[in-house]
Amino acid sequence: ETGVTQTPRHLVMGMTNKKSLKCEQHLGHNAMYWYKQSAKKPLELMFVYNFKEQTENNSVPSRFSPECPNSSHLFLHLHTLQPEDSALYLCASSQDGGSGTGELFFGEGSRLTVL
Amino acid sequence: DAKTTQPPSMDCAEGRAANLPCNHSTISGNEYVYWYRQIHSQGPQYIIHGLKNNETNEMASLIITEDRKSSTLILPHATLRDTAVYYCIAFIVNDYKLSFGAGTTVTVRA
């Protein structure tokens, strides 16, 4: 139990579907992150939220839409994805206090397959 | 962030110390060295970090050279559960972009 919970753990969707990934952290942290890990590739930072405000969008296509309603929850809304978007999507959180820290706590990830 | 260079893979024997090298010759004065590991199909796990001084915690020790151009992560008594990909990252505090490279795949053998 890492304190960061991701659901669902596995998701299969068609290219025309709309689905969402959910992340919840129970650590009282202020910053939350989405990373993407494709097969045989390094983790790629997608989005960063600090105190519910988006501070980083790493040139992510608009078919990925993040939402951070509060400091404990982070969503990734998925719409008209492509097969190459199949990957492990990892959520992380950190205790920030307004400055970035490199100590991130990761969830177990959501394995997404796009057919 | 400074680029780090790690060997792609290494083996070590169970019960022995595992020494994982990392080169970061272009590291700047405000960049810390962070280490993470990722066990297969799990999220990455923070291990340790340091700036100049050597650091030790319950998981590992971090040795940083005096010129800060390289570092070594030491797992004192490797177990089979330490088999993972280990990432060395140069990170600027106050910057949210923790960037992962390819890491070193460490296999601990019985």
Q: How does pLDDT run across B30-87, given as a tens digit for each residue?
A: 899 999 999 988 999 999 999 998 999 999 999 999 999 999 999 999 999 999 999 9
- Measured CA to CA, the distance from residue B99 to residue A89 in angstroms comes to 15
Secondary structure of residue A47 in the 3-state scheme: strand
Cβ–Cβ contact A2 with B under 8 A: yes
Classify the C-alpha dihedral B47-B52-B56-B60 as positive or negative.
positive
Report how many Cβ contacts below 8 Å link chain A to chain B.
60
The pLDDT value recorded for residue A95 is 86
**Cα–Cα distance, A93 to A111 (Å, whole number):** 19
* A55 CB within 8 Å of a chain B CB: yes
Residues B3 and B72: their CA atoms lie apart, in Å, by: 16
Q: What angle do CA A86, A105, A35 make, to 5 degrees?
A: 25
pLDDT score of B91 more than 50: yes
Q: Where are the beta strands (DSSP E) in chain A?
A: 4-7, 10-13, 18-25, 31-37, 44-50, 53-57, 64-70, 73-79, 87-94, 105-106, 110-114
CA B2 to chain centre: 14
Per-residue model confidence as pLDDT tens digits over A42-93: 999 999 998 888 888 888 999 999 999 999 999 999 999 999 999 999 999 9
Beta-carbon separation of B93 and A55 below 8 A: no
Residue with tokens 């151009």: B69
Residue A45, amino acid: L
Say if the Cβ atoms of B42 and A101 lie within 8 Å: no
Does A98 score more than 50 pLDDT? no
Residue B81: count other Cβ atoms within 10 Å of its Cβ: 9
Whole-angstrom CA distances from A74 to A31, A69, A82, A92, B56 are 10, 7, 22, 10, 33
